[in-house]
Structure 1
Amino acid sequence: MRRSLSAAIGVVALLPLTAVPAHASPAHRGDYSNVLDLRGTPTTSEPPEFNDISVFSDQGAWHAYALPKDPATYGGFTGPLYIAQEYPWWLSKAFSRIRLSENGRPIDLSRTTPKLSSLPGLLRQVYELDGLKLTLELRFGSAHTALVRAYVENTGHRARTLRVGWTGELLRPDAEPMKSAPSLKATGNGVQVDFAKVRKTWDYLTDGTERFQIVHAEPVRTTVNGDSYSTDLARPVTVRPRGTSALTWAETYTFNDAERRAEAPAVAGMLRSPERVAARGDERWRGYVARVTRGLPADRRRLAVKSVETLVSNWRGPAGAIKHNGITPSVTYKWFSGLWAWDTWKQAVGTAAFDPALARDQIRSMFDYQITPRSKDRPQDAGMIPDAVFYNTPAEGGGNWNERNSKPPLAAWSVWQVYLKDRDASFLREMYPKLVAYHDWWYRTRDHDHNGLAEYGATVDPANATEEDRRQAAAWESGMDNAPRFDASLGVKMLANTDASGKVVGYSINQESVDLNAYLAAEKHYLALIASRLGKWSDAARFEKDSAKVAGLVRARMYDAKTGFFYDSSMSADGGKTLTGRGRGIEGAIPLWAGVASKQQAASVRGKLVDPNEFATKVPFPTVSKSSPYFQSTKYWRGPVWIDQAYFALTGLHAYGYRADARTLADRLRTNASGMLGDRPLQENYDPLTGAPLNSPNFSWSAALLLALPD
Structure 2
Amino acid sequence: MRRPLRAAALTAATLALALLVPAAPAVADGTATGDGRPQPQGSARDRYADVLDLEGTPGTAHPGGEQEKDTNPVTTFADRGAWHAYSLPEEDRPATWGGFSGPLYLAQEYPWWLSDTFSRLRLTEHGKPLDLDGEGKPRFTSLPGVLRQSYRLDGGLRLTLELRYASGRTALVRARLANEGRASRTLKAGWTGSLLRPRKEPMRSAPSLEKTRTGVAVGFDRVREPSDYLTDGTERFAVRHAEPVRTRVSGDGYRTDLAHPLRLRPGRSTSLDWTESYTFTAAERRAEAPRVRRALARPDAVAAAGQRRWDGYVRKATHGVPAGRRRTAVKAVETLVTNWRSAAGRLKHDGVTPSLSDKWFAGGFWAWDTWKQAVGTARFAPGLAEDQIRSLFDHQITRDDPRRPQDAGMVPDAVFYNDTADGGINWNERNSKPPMAAWAVWEVYRATGDRDFLREMYPKLTAYRDWWYRNRDHDHDGLAEYGGTVDPANDSPEEARLAAAWESGMDNAPRFDAERGTEALVNRDSAGRRTGWSINQESVDLNAYLAADQRHLSRIAARLGRPAEAVRWRQRAAWVDRAVRESMYDPRTGWYYDTSLDGTRLTARGRGIEGAVPLWTGTASREQARAMRRKLVAPDEFGTRMPLPTVAVSSPYFAPTQYWRGPVWIDQAYVAIEGLRRYGYGRDADALTSRLLDAAGTQDRNPLRENYDPRSGDGLNARNFSWTASLLLPLL
TM-score bracket for this pair, using the shorter chain length: over 0.9
* SS state at 1:56 partner: coil
* Alignment pair present for 1:455 and 2:481: yes
Q: 1:206 aligns with which of 231, 256, 274?
A: 231
Alignment of 1:45-444 (within 5 A): 45-48=61-64, 49-69=70-90, 70-109=93-132, 112-130=136-154, 131-336=156-361, 337-444=363-470
In structure 2, the residue matched to 1:6 is none
Alignment of 1:561-576 (within 5 A): 561-572=587-598, 576=599
CA RMSD of aligned residues (A): 1.3
**Alignment length, in residue pairs?**
693
Q: Which runs of 5+ in 2 are unaligned?
A: 1-10, 25-42, 65-69
* Alignment pair present for 1:634 and 2:669: no
Q: Is the 8 A contact 2:208 2:218 kept in 1?
A: yes
Instruction: For residues 339-374 of structure 1, give each alpha carbon's deviation from its aligned partner in whole angstroms, at most 9, with x where no partner exists.
Output: 000000000000000011100000000000000000
Alignment of 1:590-605 (within 5 A): 590-605=613-628
> Aligned equivalents of 1:449 and 1:29: distance in 2?
56
Q: Is the 8 A contact 1:17 1:244 kept in 2?
A: no
Q: How far off is 1:31 after superposition?
A: 2.8
Query: What amino acid is the match of 1:498?
Result: R
Instruction: For residues 397-452 of structure 1, give each alpha carbon's deviation from its aligned partner in whole angstroms, at most 9, with x where no partner exists.
Output: 10100000000000000000000002000000000000000000000000111111
Residues 692 and 483 of structure 1: CA distance in aligned 2, closer, same or farther (over 3 Å): same
Q: Which runs of 5+ in 1 are unaligned?
A: 1-13
* Alignment pair present for 1:693 and 2:715: yes
> Aligned equivalents of 1:199 and 1:393: distance in 2?
13
In structure 2, the residue matched to 1:655 is 678
> Aligned equivalents of 1:17 and 1:300: distance in 2?
28
| TM score, norm. by length of structure 1 | 0.96
Query: What amino acid is the match of 1:158?
Result: A
> Aligned equivalents of 2:613 and 2:274: distance in 1?
51
> Aligned equivalents of 1:29 and 1:23: distance in 2?
12
Residues 519 and 29 of structure 1: CA distance in aligned 2, closer, same or farther (over 3 Å): closer
Q: How far off is 1:15 after superposition?
A: 11
Q: Is the 8 A contact 2:44 2:314 kept in 1?
A: no
Query: What amino acid is the match of 1:56?
Result: F
> Aligned equivalents of 1:589 and 1:62: distance in 2?
38
* Alignment pair present for 1:34 and 2:28: no
> Aligned equivalents of 2:558 and 2:570: distance in 1?
11
Query: What amino acid is the match of 2:107?
Result: A
* Alignment pair present for 1:446 and 2:472: yes
Q: 1:509 aligns with which of 527, 532, 535?
A: 535
In structure 2, the residue matched to 1:527 is 553
Q: Is the 8 A contact 1:16 1:246 kept in 2?
A: no
Query: What amino acid is the match of 1:167?
Result: T
Q: Is the 8 A contact 2:45 2:311 kept in 1?
A: no
Q: Is the 8 A contact 2:482 2:534 kept in 1?
A: yes
Residues 271 and 613 of structure 1: CA distance in aligned 2, closer, same or farther (over 3 Å): same
Q: Is the 8 A contact 1:115 1:127 kept in 2?
A: yes
Instruction: For residues 4-59 of structure 1, give each alpha carbon's deviation from its aligned partner in whole angstroms, at most 9, with x where no partner exists.
Output: xxxxxxxxxx9999722357644465430000000001111011111100000000
* SS state at 2:359 partner: coil
Query: What amino acid is the match of 1:707?
Result: L
| TM score, norm. by length of structure 2 | 0.93
Instruction: For residues 214-250 of structure 1, give each alpha carbon's deviation from its aligned partner in whole angstroms, at most 9, with x where no partner exists.
Output: 0000010111010000011111101111221111000
Instruction: For residues 162-211 of structure 1, give each alpha carbon's deviation from its aligned partner in whole angstroms, at most 9, with x where no partner exists.
Output: 11110000011111111100000011110000000100000000000000
> Aligned equivalents of 2:182 and 2:583: distance in 1?
83
Instruction: For residues 448-490 of structure 1, give each alpha carbon's deviation from its aligned partner in whole angstroms, at most 9, with x where no partner exists.
Output: 1111110000001111001111010000000000000000000
Q: How far off is 1:504 after superposition?
A: 1.1
> Aligned equivalents of 1:201 and 1:388: distance in 2?
16
In structure 2, the residue matched to 1:606 is 629
Instruction: For residues 683-703 of structure 1, give each alpha carbon's deviation from its aligned partner in whole angstroms, at most 9, with x where no partner exists.
Output: 000000111110000000000
Q: Which range moved further: 491-500 or 210-219?
A: 491-500
> Aligned equivalents of 1:19 and 1:207: distance in 2?
43
Identity %: 61
In structure 2, the residue matched to 1:19 is 16
In structure 1, the residue matched to 2:67 is none
Query: What amino acid is the match of 1:31?
Result: R
Residues 355 and 99 of structure 1: CA distance in aligned 2, closer, same or farther (over 3 Å): same
Q: Is the 8 A contact 1:36 1:306 kept in 2?
A: yes
